[in-house]
Structure 1
Amino acid sequence: MSNLSTSKWTKYKLLRKSEKLRAYLPETEWLKESAFWRLLNKYQQVIIKPTGSYGGHGVIRIKKLEDSGYELQDGAKKKRFTDQEQVNAFLKKKTGKNFIVQQRIPLATVNGRPFDMRVMVQRHPHSKWQVTGKLAKVAGSGFIVTNIRMSSGKVVSVEHAIKHSQLKSMRSADLLAQLDKVALKSAAKLGPSYRWVKTMGIDMAFDKAGHVWIIEVNYAPMLELFLKLKDKSMFRRIKSFHKK
Structure 2
Amino acid sequence: MGKLGKYYFMKKYKMISTFLPDTREATLSNIKIMLRLYGSVYLKPDEGTGGRGIYKITRGKNNFILHIGSNAHNFNSLNELFASVKRNLIRDKYIVQKGILMLKHNNRPFDIRVMVQKNGKGILDVTGIIGRQAKRNKIVTNFHSGGTPLPVNILLKPHLNDVSRKQYIQKVEKLGKDACTVLGKSYNSKRAFGVDIAIDHKMNPWILEINTQPDMSIFNTLENKTMYKRILRYSKSK
TM-score range, shorter chain: over 0.9
1:31 corresponds to 2:26: yes
2:8 alignment counterpart: 13
Where do residues 170-209 of structure 1 align in structure 2 (5 Å cutoff)? Answer: 171-209=164-202
1:141 alignment counterpart: 136
Distance 2:11 2:79 in 1: 32
Where do residues 69-80 of structure 1 align in structure 2 (5 Å cutoff)? Answer: 69-80=63-74
1:223 corresponds to 2:216: yes
Q: Percent identity among equivalent residues?
A: 29
RMSD: 1.4
- TM-score of the pair, normalised by structure 1: 0.92
Distance 1:217 1:149 in 2: 17
Where do residues 44-193 of structure 1 align in structure 2 (5 Å cutoff)? Answer: 44-66=39-61, 68-97=62-91, 98-124=93-119, 126-150=121-145, 152-164=146-158, 167-169=159-161, 171-193=164-186
> Shift in Å at residue 135 of structure 1?
0.3
> Shift in Å at residue 85 of structure 1?
2.3
Q: Quick one: which amino acid aligns to residue 147 of structure 1?
A: N
Q: Quick one: which amino acid aligns to residue 109 of structure 1?
A: K
> Shift in Å at residue 33 of structure 1?
1.3
Superimposed CA distance per residue, residues 53-94 of structure 1 (whole angstroms, 9 cap, x where no aligned partner): 10101110001112x201110101110001132122123133
> Shift in Å at residue 146 of structure 1?
0.2
Distance 2:5 2:137 in 1: 31
SS, match of residue 149 in structure 2: strand
SS, match of residue 90 in structure 2: coil
SS, match of residue 115 in structure 2: strand
Segment of structure 1 superposing worse, 87-96 or 178-187: 87-96
Segment of structure 1 superposing worse, 82-91 or 231-240: 82-91
> Shift in Å at residue 44 of structure 1?
0.6
For the 8 Å contact 2:56–2:67, the answer to whether it is kept is yes
Instruction: Find runs of 4+ consecutive structure 1 residues off by over 3 angstroms.
Output: none
- Count of aligned positions: 235
Q: Quick one: which amino acid aligns to residue 64 of structure 2?
A: Y
> Shift in Å at residue 12 of structure 1?
1.2
SS, match of residue 95 in structure 1: helix
Distance 1:206 1:169 in 2: 16
- TM-score of the pair, normalised by structure 2: 0.94
Q: Quick one: which amino acid aligns to residue 46 of structure 1?
A: V
